Amino acid sequence: MSEIRKYCCVSVNFRNADISIRKQLAFTEEQKRKLISEFNDKEGGCVLICTCNRTEIYCFETADRIT
């Protein structure tokens, strides 16, 4: 039987958040590695996209973690 997965995305960019919010999401390389590692270990997967104008976090969970 195949696994049901839930997908979510958190996106912050210059159109929907001012610079003070975007600065809080300016991760260092070490913070990026840690965040991705924690999601991969505990949740189900994570993709992190960071540019000068946006930060996006894509997460995946298996059905048994969905509430």
Task: Give per-residue pLDDT as tens, 4-29.
Answer: 678 889 999 999 999 999 999 889 99
Residues 6+ apart with CB under 8 A from 26: 50, 55
| 26-34 contacts, C-beta under 8 A, 24 or more apart | 26/50, 26/55, 27/55
Residue spans of the domains in the chain: they are 5-65
| Rounded distance between C-alpha atoms, residue 20 and residue 24, angstroms | 7
Residue 3 has pLDDT above 70, yes or no: no
More confident residue, 20 or 39: 20
- pLDDT (mean) for 34-58: 86
- pLDDT (mean) for 43-55: 86
